[in-house]
Structure 1
Amino acid sequence: MIMKLRNLAGLAIALWLSGCASGLRLDTSHPSANYDSRVQFVVLHYTAAPLDRSLALLTHGQVSAHYLIGDGPATIYRLADERYRTWHAGESEWDGRTWLNSSSIGIEVVNPGYTDTPTGRVWYPYSEAQVQAVLALLRDIRTRYRLEPRYIVGHSDIAPLRKLDPGPLFPWQRLAKEGFGLWPDARAVSRAKVHFEMSPPTMAWYQEQLAKIGYGVSRSGVLDVATRHVLAAFQMHYRPSRFDGAPDAETAAILQVLAGMI
């Protein structure tokens, strides 16, 4: 009798283990309200390479992204499921969060970037079809995630010491009109510019406002090399006509207006 009970117990354990192997039976009647999505940011890039090379690098190289937007036609390639982390951001920071690969969707756009010539650096524009594809993709992403507009950023915003993409010709103002990013009111900027022309702010003020918007910046209180790079990235995003990293009244005005929107 004892042997028979032992055999039955062994059979029960074997059946339970078999059930575990084939799939757990989970009680899902008590869902938590305290969670959110892995996806907190969208980071936009240019590839600095033609389509065939971009596809090879992003699918079999050491870098990757969730989406690639081609050129002629502007096909949207899905390269990785959004649930998974891809290797597009590298060492990065935005709004206090670092190493954004784990918390972002990466979108690459086929674009040469720039060419240095004897007369200066030449940047390459994005086609209208590519811009429309970016907007369509962002609208689709927005249906799945409640992203703050200021969390849609460029690679140069999150890694200003080492990256320039998506460059000064990326249409940030058009994206902001669709709710993908921030853009300052021109009249408010003009009013603030007059004030800052008469009373320039300190470098500590610049660093404080840049940090408020989301940039990773030192609080040294001086225009060090790192701060100049961050200022240049900010200018390239919001004032692409000149992005030399030098503080000026217009840059201060744009900073103040944007910081007031957050």
Structure 2
Amino acid sequence: MLPDLPPLPPVEIDPLPYELKLDARPLSQIDLIVIHCTETPTLASARDFGERVLYEGSGTGNSGHYYIDRDGRIQLYVRPDRIAHHVRGYNPRSIGIELVNTGRYPHWRDSKHQAMDEPYPEAQIVALIALLGQLQQQFPSVKYITGHEDLDREMEASADDPTVQVPRKRDPGPLFPWDRVMQSVTWERLQP
């Protein structure tokens, strides 16, 4: 039996300008939750990145569905019935949750700056667990949860030394409390 979950804080709905240009999907198609960190310093900088149009053909960019700030505030940038661009190869079946965390910012590809050493604050993790509880009720088709780093394992040349390979994605990183999160859900951790 699952422990009592914390109450869900209010979710501020703040759609990205291109949300309606993202492909629609039936909610029954969703079977996976992907946890990310923004690898930006603030929620505002994550929003700025999310608003960038990176795909001229569709007029859309990269974003998750839900964003959780360090103080536990939750914002919805893309409704779940739309396919957000947050993880290669898994977008049509997943909901992306972004936790504000610096990660490797601003040296994502520098071989000397690959540590992910910002801890996730308690308020942020409590809000995440509450949101996951809500998503379990709302989407009975969801069976799996995973981290971005579990799905995108590609390596690339580092920016400072092209002979050194660095991971393309490392989020949510080594300080993410997987044990605690897995105790709050009935889903299986997907690690392909």
Normalised-by-shorter TM-score class: 0.5 to 0.7
State how far apart, in whole Å, the 1-side matches of 2:191 and 2:112 are.
36
Identity %: 33
State how far apart, in whole Å, the 2-side matches of 1:118 and 1:141 are.
38
Q: 1:40 aligns with which of 31, 56, 67?
A: 31
Q: Residues 178 and 52 (structure 1 numbering): CA distance in 2 closer, same or farther, change over 3 Å?
A: same
Partner of 1:129: 123
Partner of 1:86: 84
Using the size of structure 1 for normalisation, the TM-score is 0.49
**Structure 1: segments with no counterpart, 5+ residues:** 1-34, 91-98, 184-212, 216-262
Aligned pairs for 1:87-126 within 5 A:
87-90=85-88, 99-114=89-104, 121=115, 123-126=117-120
State how far apart, in whole Å, the 2-side matches of 1:58 and 1:74 are.
19
Q: Residues 122 and 153 (structure 1 numbering): CA distance in 2 closer, same or farther, change over 3 Å?
A: closer
Partner of 1:65: 64
User: Is the counterpart of residue 75 in structure 1 residue 65 in structure 2?
Assistant: no
State how far apart, in whole Å, the 2-side matches of 1:36 and 1:83 are.
6
**Structure 2: segments with no counterpart, 5+ residues:** 1-25, 54-60, 155-167
Q: CA deviation at 1:122?
A: 5.2
Q: What letter corresponds to residue 172 of structure 2 in structure 1?
A: P
Q: Residues 37 and 46 (structure 1 numbering): CA distance in 2 closer, same or farther, change over 3 Å?
A: same
Aligned pairs for 1:220-239 within 5 A:
none
Q: What letter corresponds to residue 178 of structure 1 in structure 2?
A: S
Q: Residues 82 and 109 (structure 1 numbering): CA distance in 2 closer, same or farther, change over 3 Å?
A: same
State how far apart, in whole Å, the 2-side matches of 1:36 and 1:52 are.
28
Structure with greater contact order relative to length (CA < 8 Å, sep ≥ 6): 2
Partner of 2:8: none
State how far apart, in whole Å, the 2-side matches of 1:75 and 1:54 are.
14
Q: CA deviation at 1:158?
A: 0.8
CA RMSD of aligned residues (A): 2.6
Q: CA deviation at 1:170?
A: 0.5
Structure in which a larger fraction of residues adopt helix = 1
State how far apart, in whole Å, the 2-side matches of 1:177 and 1:135 are.
10
Q: Residues 214 and 127 (structure 1 numbering): CA distance in 2 closer, same or farther, change over 3 Å?
A: closer
Q: CA deviation at 1:180?
A: 5.2
Aligned pairs for 1:156-175 within 5 A:
156-161=149-154, 162-175=168-181
Partner of 1:144: 138
Q: CA deviation at 1:163?
A: 1.3
User: Is the counterpart of residue 178 in structure 1 residue 184 in structure 2?
Assistant: yes
Q: CA deviation at 1:70?
A: 1.0
Q: What letter corresponds to residue 174 of structure 2 in structure 1?
A: P
Q: Is the 8 A contact 1:42 1:105 kept in 2?
A: yes
Q: Is the 8 A contact 2:116 2:174 kept in 1?
A: no
Aligned length: 141
Structure in which a larger fraction of residues adopt strand = 2
Residue 169 of structure 1 aligns to a residue whose secondary structure is coil
Q: CA deviation at 1:121?
A: 3.2
